Structure 1
Amino acid sequence: MTTLRDLPLSGLRALVAAARAGSLTRAAEELRVTPGAIGHQIRQLEERLGVKLVRREGNGIVLTRAAEAALPDIDRGFDALASGMRRLRFERRAETFTISADPSFASLWLAPRLSRVRTALGKLDVRIVASVALDAMAEEGVDLAISYRRGAAPDLASLDLFTERMIPACAPALVRGHGRPDAAEVLDSMPLLHIDPTMGDDVYPAWRDWFAAAGRQPKGIDQGPRFGLTIVAAQAAITGMGALLASELVLRRHLEPGHLVEIARDVPALTIKRRLVWPEHGPKARSAAAVAAELAAIADIGVDRALPR
């Protein structure tokens, strides 16, 4: 007797997709596999069951009578499976406190300080994920977001963490012998490295913003290598690929030993505010407020005294 444990779920999924699309090619596009893989999975399912499930008709396929009769039950089975998976994810979320932050900040500032919020988390296991849009926090299961983003839904509470200086920096070799490394002119002929706002950081300054603040409009502002992570862009800057505009907080580990140097200091630094955001209501709202208060207190008591308020 064939049981559910014996059936390849990939074959059932291929059958449902093929039935819906009426074509192995379109089913393959939906499942992001090759048409050959779809055909193989369906044939494997037919061999396991000993029943013909599809037949070719012109450029497409049609279900056999047996497959048509079984399809509604298979659909309901997948719906029940999806419901069970959602329940499992919900149960896991109930035991986990999820914090979202951009990876550079999470690795350099947040992770080393998680032990200090252990009491506020109680029995919850902490989980760190990449930044998400603030209006998608509930959907993504995020309990606390650390974000640059402006605005928030009415049901979200927020607390300022700190303000960061956005500074231009480069490898020392790029300014060696330059007469005025603190002047804006030092960047006129220097390659520029860019950080893509891939995480929805709608206020993260770009080189265009910096040059506008400096009252300059050089050519090629938007040209140069682009990076999704500040920590990766910083490594490129250290090798001498060009100048990088980034948070002093993230660059500090490279500035202190002299791997990078701040340049164009004559131009007032741009600043950006990082905030803690969490849902005002919900089962973990009180924990989120407590963790946010602890993180804000860590910043206030001098751990990051070098950051301007």
Structure 2
Amino acid sequence: MATLRDLPLSALRALVAAARTGSLTRAAEELGVTPGAVGHQIKQLEDGLGIKLVRRAGNGIVLTRAAESALPDIDRGFDALASGLRRLRFERQAETFTICADPSFASLWLAPRLNRMRPAFAGFDVRIVTSIALDAMLEEGVDLAISYRKGAALDLGSVDLFTERVIPACAPSLIQGHARPDAASVLDGLPLLHIDPTMGDDVYPAWRDWFAAAGRRRKDIDQGPRFGLTIVAAQAAIAGMGALLASELVLHRHLQPGHLIEIARDVPALTIKRRLVWPLHGPKARRAAAVASQLAALADLAIEGALPQ
């Protein structure tokens, strides 16, 4: 006779699904396997236990009396397993301080500053994840968000981090010989690179916003390559594929050595404001507020010395 240690959980799940649906086919659809696999798993369970668990009834199946009497305990067992896994996830989250930010900002500004923040994270492992909706922070186990989104729920605290200029830039080779690289007209004929908001960095205004602010029109304004991450789009811009509209902060390391240059300076730059947001309630609320305060202080230092520091 098989012991509990010998019984595969997949076979028990197959039995529960078959009992709930009354059909091997529907149980297979629910579990994402074939009906044959469900039948095989139940047969293995029957062989291991030495008892019949299901029998055919027309086009479906029904439980035997023995299986029917045991099913509530099996269901409770799965509920207990799920509860135990939730507890393990909670315990892991309790040891981790999770920050979410868009990937380009996280890699170019946040990650280099984490070493200076180590005292604030004492006792916690830091985890960086991509941006999520602010109203999902507690559900997703996120302790601090770096967000550009306006508005926040009443149970979220927030503090401004800094305001960034969003500028058009391109490789110097792309505008060689252009009479007025600082004029808006320089962008009338350049290929345009786009940050795709459905793929990654959805932080920045689009080219349509820039041309509207500049009071100019262009028929092919939405055409051109699209990139999920600004750091990838910047490499395409350096290679001369086109002009990119992105945060000056994220482009800084390419602007400083001249791999990219800001163009159309005569048009006032668009801006975005980043904020630090955290849940006001929960076991790490005070820690999150302290981390936010220290990150904001680092941002002030960077602004005084010209972003990024």
TM-score, normalised by the number of residues in structure 1? 0.87
- Deviation, structure 1 residue 294: 0.6
Instruction: Give the corresponding residue for 2:232.
Output: 232
Indicate the larger mover: 124-133 or 201-210: 201-210
Distance 2:238 2:211 in 1: 22
Instruction: Give the corresponding residue for 2:153.
Output: 153
Q: Does the 8 Å contact 1:133/1:200 carry over to 2?
A: no
- Deviation, structure 1 residue 109: 0.9
- Deviation, structure 1 residue 153: 0.7
Q: What 5-or-longer segments of structure 2 have no aligned partner?
A: none
Indicate the larger mover: 35-44 or 260-269: 35-44
SS in 2 for 1:164: strand
Q: Report the count of equivalent residues.
A: 308
Structure 1 pair 203–256 and aligned structure 2 pair: CA distance change class (3 A): closer
Structure number with bigger Rg: 2
Q: Does the 8 Å contact 1:131/1:145 carry over to 2?
A: yes
Structure 1 pair 158–44 and aligned structure 2 pair: CA distance change class (3 A): same
Instruction: Give the corresponding residue for 1:111.
Output: 111
SS in 1 for 2:274: strand
Distance 1:138 1:21 in 2: 34
SS in 1 for 2:165: strand
Give the counterpart letter for 1:195 in structure 2: I
Distance 2:141 2:263 in 1: 41
Is 2:284 the partner of 1:281? no
- Deviation, structure 1 residue 127: 1.5
Give the counterpart letter for 2:251 in structure 1: L
Distance 1:18 1:73 in 2: 16
Q: Does the 8 Å contact 1:194/1:224 carry over to 2?
A: yes
SS in 1 for 2:135: helix
- Cα distance per residue 1:210-231 (max 9 Å; x no partner): 1111112312322333222222
Give the counterpart letter for 2:245 in structure 1: L
SS in 2 for 1:211: helix
SS in 1 for 2:85: helix
Distance 2:32 2:180 in 1: 55
Structure 1 pair 44–227 and aligned structure 2 pair: CA distance change class (3 A): farther
- Structure 2 matches for 1:1-309, cutoff 5 A? 1-35=1-35, 37-54=37-54, 61-198=61-198, 204-302=204-302, 305-307=305-307
Q: Does the 8 Å contact 2:199/2:227 carry over to 1?
A: no
Give the counterpart letter for 2:95 in structure 1: E
Give the counterpart letter for 2:260 in structure 1: L
Q: Does the 8 Å contact 2:204/2:247 carry over to 1?
A: no
Q: What 5-or-longer segments of structure 1 have no aligned partner?
A: none
Identity of aligned residues (%): 83
- Deviation, structure 1 residue 133: 1.0
Structure 1 pair 111–200 and aligned structure 2 pair: CA distance change class (3 A): closer
Distance 2:20 2:187 in 1: 58
Distance 1:233 1:53 in 2: 59
- Cα distance per residue 1:20-49 (max 9 Å; x no partner): 344555444444445555455444444444
- Deviation, structure 1 residue 262: 2.1
Structure 1 pair 271–7 and aligned structure 2 pair: CA distance change class (3 A): same
TM-score, normalised by the number of residues in structure 2? 0.87
- Deviation, structure 1 residue 259: 2.7
- Deviation, structure 1 residue 18: 3.8
Structure 1 pair 145–74 and aligned structure 2 pair: CA distance change class (3 A): same
Q: Does the 8 Å contact 1:166/1:272 carry over to 2?
A: yes
SS in 2 for 1:149: coil
Indicate the larger mover: 26-35 or 147-156: 26-35
Indicate the larger mover: 239-248 or 60-69: 60-69
- Deviation, structure 1 residue 160: 0.5
SS in 2 for 1:222: coil
Distance 2:241 2:59 in 1: 53
- Deviation, structure 1 residue 137: 0.8
Indicate the larger mover: 17-26 or 81-90: 17-26
Structure 1 pair 221–67 and aligned structure 2 pair: CA distance change class (3 A): farther
